[in-house]
Structure 1
Amino acid sequence: MHLPSELRAFIRASLVDRVQGRREKSPTQVRRRRIVVTITLLLGAAGLGAALDVAPGEPLFYVASLGVAAIWTIGAFASGPLSRGRSWTREGEPGGRAVVQGLILGGSLLAVFLLGAMVVGQVDFLRGPVDDLLEHAHFGNIAIVAAVTAISGIGEELFFRGAVFAAMPRRWEIIGSALIYTLSTVLSGVPLLSFAALCLGLLTGAQRRVTGGVLGPIVSHLTWSLGMLFLLPSALSIGDLLW
């Protein structure tokens, strides 16, 4: 097996070559999506900011976070139909479901962020907000936090890579949906969270474009977000020891 060629083939199959052509949407469908997306964004961004203002360990944090996930999910389905999508198989057939691709892509992004955290974690004005965010996991039940993280990730992908992506003009599908996703996190007050949203949004947006659906992006998002939940504290501690 020739690794560079295998890697190039994987990148093309998972992030570049569309499995199916873009379905044309009527002006009425586009208008409906954009109206629903706008309303949902305003509600969801406000809800996210409120959730992160809750003191660590408070049960209200879980309720608020699930409320935000519900807003994203309801908005996604209210905007119009969503598809799971299809991916290329190793045999070159368009019958896959992008689960393995999502695991690999999400895991790769996770590895990059964990390595970066070892360095960036030494910058005080960036580290402080991250520590505040992690306190919700430290003071809460980790199983509940993981479940809320997973549900939130699914809701975000249904909305941002489902509804928002479909509402964008063709040339702005990936970049536009990623930027809007990033802006929705600004109220959190955590610069690295917004940066992570941009990177994750670009990756999953490319998957959405290739597969035509949300399943691959959901798998990538869950792999990255759950990995960060469990491994980021250790990466920061290793960084403290190294630097």
Structure 2
Amino acid sequence: MNPVREVVDELRDFVEAALVKPVPGRSEDPPEVVRRRRVVVVLTLAVGAVLLWWSLSLPPGDPTFYYGTAVLAVVWAGGAFASGPLRRGRANTREGTRYVVPVVQPIALGLLLLAFFLAGALLVSRVPLLAEPVEGLLDHARAGVLWVVLVITVFNGVAEELFFRGALYAALPRHWAVVGNVVVYAVVTVAVGVPLLVLAAVLIGVVCSLQRRVTGGVLAPIITHITWSAGMLLLLPPLMSLLR
């Protein structure tokens, strides 16, 4: 068989299993749970958006940044659990003969997203209008204690997915869940004031929302998000410094 064709077929099977074909047997929330989710989601979004803007408006190196982002993660996670039950979800295999705990596919998707964004940094670094806001955001990582920032980054990634792909996704009408989830996630990110971060939110939101739709749970989006965000934290600052 043609090697190129084999690669294309493997990639097609991977995309279909990870992002297209929903796993059967997923349960739906009863109406009273959906109503509760919607109330909790609206309140959490209002508080979370303000905290996000405030924490990222702090000057790099300010110790309050750690507390602010930690509190933000608690808000996202607290809102998620207060809204109702959250499900782990199951993943398709490429063979389509069984269902597994979603681990390998989410890691692969996270690494693919990481490679895409690091490649995009080559372009961003050459456009001052785009590079300056990104550099300002990365200064928080450069000025802080790396392992502390890494723990906060992972904690926030988990909390965001619990809320956005857990509570928010389940609160939206089924046929609009993916689109609505991406739009709300991007709008909240606008509060940061970094255009490229909004674009990142759209791309991450699309991938993670499709994973939520396919698996019926939050584990796959969580793994993808923290794989991407931890990789960006560790690799993007030195890469941007190298490209200056």
What's the TM-score once normalised by structure 1's chain length? 0.94
Q: Which residue of 2 aligns with 1:70?
A: 74
Partner Cα separation in structure 1 for residue 187 and residue 82 of structure 2: 21
CA contact (8 A) 1:49 1:188 kept: yes
The runs of 5 or more residues in structure 2 that have no matched partner are none
Letter in 2 for 1:115: A
Match of 2:83 among 72, 79, 90: 79
CA contact (8 A) 2:19 2:214 kept: yes
Partner Cα separation in structure 1 for residue 98 and residue 63 of structure 2: 44
Matched, 1:147 2:156: no
The runs of 5 or more residues in structure 1 that have no matched partner are none
CA contact (8 A) 1:119 1:239 kept: no
Matched, 1:97 2:105: no
CA RMSD of aligned residues (A): 1.4
Q: Which residue of 2 aligns with 1:111?
A: 115
Partner Cα separation in structure 2 for residue 202 and residue 25 of structure 1: 22
C-alpha change, 1:236 and 1:179, in structure 2 (3 Å) is: same
Letter in 1 for 2:235: L
Helix, strand or coil at the partner of 1:23: coil
Query: Per-residue CA shift, 1:92-148, capped at 9, x if unaligned?
Result: 344311111111001101111111111022222221111111111111100000000
Q: Which residue of 1 aligns with 2:44?
A: 40
User: Residue 230 of structure 1: CA displacement?
Assistant: 1.0
Q: Which residue of 1 aligns with 2:56?
A: 52
Q: Which residue of 2 aligns with 1:204?
A: 208
Matched, 1:213 2:203: no
Q: Which residue of 2 aligns with 1:159?
A: 163
Letter in 2 for 1:62: Y
Q: Which residue of 1 aligns with 2:142?
A: 138
Letter in 1 for 2:221: P
Matched, 1:233 2:233: no
1:7-26 aligned at under 5 Å gives the runs 7-26=11-30
Match of 1:188 among 187, 192, 204: 192
Q: Which residue of 1 aligns with 2:132?
A: 128
CA contact (8 A) 2:110 2:225 kept: yes
User: Residue 235 of structure 1: CA displacement?
Assistant: 3.1
Partner Cα separation in structure 2 for residue 158 and residue 178 of structure 1: 14
Partner Cα separation in structure 1 for residue 39 and residue 160 of structure 2: 18
* Segments of 4+ moved more than 3 angstroms: 237-240
